[in-house]
Amino acid sequence: RTAQSVLAIDLGAGSGRAVIGRLTQGGGPDDLRLSMEEIHRFPNDPVRVGKHLHWDILRLLHEIKQAILKAVQLEGDRLGSIAIDSWAVDFGLIGTDGQLLGNPYHYRDHHTDGVMEEVCARLGRERIFAASGLQFLQFNTIYQLAALQAQQPGLMDRADKLLMIPDLLRYFLTGEMHSEYTNASTTQLLNPVTRTWDAGLLSDLGLSPSLLLPPQASGIRAGTLSPEVCAELGVPPIPVVTVGEHDTASAVVAVPAEGKDFAYLSCGTWSLLGTELPAPVLTEQALTWNFTNEGGVQGTTRLLKNIMGLWLVQESRRAWEKAGSRLSFPQLVQAAESAAPFVSFIDPDDDAFLNPGHMPEAIQAYCARTGQPVPASEGEIIRCVLESLALKYRFVLERTERLTGKRFDGLHMVGGGIQNSLLCRFTANALQRPVWAGPVEGSAIGNIVVQYMALGVWNTLHEARQVIRSSFPVRTYSPENVDGWAEAYERFRGIIGE
Ligand code: LFR
């Protein structure tokens, strides 16, 4: 049973990766080790057409096929299954003839600007929250659909089925349409208690219930490579399975926690901070604080909050590169380390930072507007961002504790963002608690692990996490300069107005 390997496709902001997961036997009979090999990496940049930002979906299908080919060349018959995860909320629409209608929109496109407010005014925030348990983000699938109804009614009339991006790519590979539960839960149309589509919401929005397929659990077989794909690539009909197809659901699977009460931060373009629970928290407080109850693997709930994350750094860097600067990511972080501490703070989650075009100017404008010194150099701006993120993590962690009545000893950080060790240090300092950073490959590991669950290797997340713990390094950051950060936190709260 340890002979099989699996192929995980993880589509992130900027790039997609294909990773082979392998299990090997360690010393004892129950001592399994997981290893990973990246076999293909490809760009996943959205494409602007006219005013709008779209997925380059067919190019991704092409790259995924290349990955499958490479995986079969490497693994031969050992390759047991394939699964895809990506960021949430985005989708393709399929006509009655089974064809994709148009190019899927990217969630940072401006077509949903103002739509959430309009839908909330019509249906009521309380109502939407009770029916979905989800945080209000202007790009949720529900608002994208409402935007299309208003802006492209012809398209919506022709739409027979909605497939979330990994569902859509799986459909292209297998010819079978399925809806995977964790990603379905991010639409804001899925009821967190019944775990199926909320008929009332659909009807109030004028959406046909037949647009959506019944959500399937993560970790089940959902087809095999179609005869066409097998013939094209010269590969056997390998099973394609559902995993936590929302990348954050996969990242949470990869948290190497020992017990069942733990706090995590999935750290990448976004920072997703929260905890894993057996059931959703649908209180008025959760609504007011705009927390989300997303569906997790094995029926868990991911109670968490989106924090704007390293997007702020990535976009700043993009603006500076355009202007001719050549500073690498590590060089920027180094400049931040040399800049003066605790000068100005931003609320990373201010709407102004969702897609401002020129991030450094948006950050400077925020500081000016809030009467703080305006950071000028690259180092000053990145310092302001990293400190503000760490302080926001504390703020959200404390609210997670208040919502759940739990107290967390420290914070698990997973994902590519933990390679930024300054951010990990700042986080431990801001929290005044230890940070356990690792593994780096959160989503890909979660994807692989759930494929192994589908193959029957493990039955529980607990067992899987044990293997993750013994397979990947975790680095501990202990708090330092506790007083300086405590004082900074008070000022930060004043600035964000909470
Ligand atoms: C992270 C993520 C978040 C989701 C955002 C948009 O990659 O999936 O969980 O809120 O992207 O889909």
Ligand 1 closest atom vs CA 247: 8
The CA distance from 484 to 496, in Å, is 18
Name the residue of 139, 247, 273 whose CB sits within 8 Å of the most ligand 1 atoms, as the mutation to test its pocket.
Answer: 247
pLDDT tens per residue, range 350-407: 999 999 999 999 999 999 999 999 999 999 999 999 999 999 999 999 999 999 999 9
Which residues are CB-neighbours of 184 under 8 A, at least 6 positions away?
164, 190, 212, 215, 295
pTM of the model: 0.97
Indicate if the pLDDT at residue 455 is higher than 50. Answer: yes
CA of 183 to the centre of ligand 1 (A): 10
**Does any ligand 1 atom lie closer than 6 A to the CB of residue 307?**
no
pLDDT at site 1 = 39
Euclidean distance between the first and final Cα of the chain, in Å?
53
pLDDT at site 14 = 85
Residue 197 DSSP class: B
Closest residue by Cα to atom 12, ligand 1, is: 88
Question: Using an 8 Å Cβ cutoff, are 87 and 249 in contact?
Answer: no
Strands, sheet with 161-164, edge to edge from the N-terminal-most edge strand: 100-101, 91-94, 161-164
10-24, 25-39, 392-406, 427-441: the lowest-pLDDT one: 25-39
Strands (E), 144-191: 161-164, 179-180
Residue 433 DSSP class: S
Indicate if the pLDDT at residue 58 is higher than 90. Answer: yes
pLDDT tens per residue, range 274-329: 999 999 999 999 999 999 999 999 999 999 999 999 999 999 999 999 999 989 99
The CA distance from 52 to 103, in Å, is 10
The CA distance from 142 to 312, in Å, is 25
pLDDT tens per residue, range 11-25: 999 899 999 999 998
pLDDT at site 25 = 85
The CA distance from 47 to 58, in Å, is 12
**Does any ligand 1 atom lie closer than 6 A to the CB of residue 380?**
no
The CA distance from 404 to 217, in Å, is 25
**Does any ligand 1 atom lie closer than 6 A to the CB of residue 248?**
yes
pLDDT tens per residue, range 240-269: 999 999 999 999 999 999 999 999 999 999
Name the residue of 186, 253, 269, 396 whose CB sits within 8 Å of the most ligand 1 atoms, as the mutation to test its pocket.
Answer: 186
- What is the arithmetic mean of pLDDT over 483-487? 95
Give the ipTM.
0.98
pLDDT at site 498 = 84
3-class SS at 412? strand
Q: What proportion of the chain, given as a percentage, has pLDDT over 70?
A: 99
Burial 153-177, CB ≥16 within 10 A → b, else e: eeebebbbbbbbbbbbbbbbbbeeb
Beta-carbon count within 10 A of 249 CB: 31
**Does any ligand 1 atom lie closer than 6 A to the CB of residue 306?**
yes
pLDDT tens per residue, range 75-95: 999 999 999 999 999 999 999
The CA distance from 149 to 175, in Å, is 27
Indicate if the pLDDT at residue 29 is higher than 70. Answer: no
CA of 364 to the centre of ligand 1 (A): 26
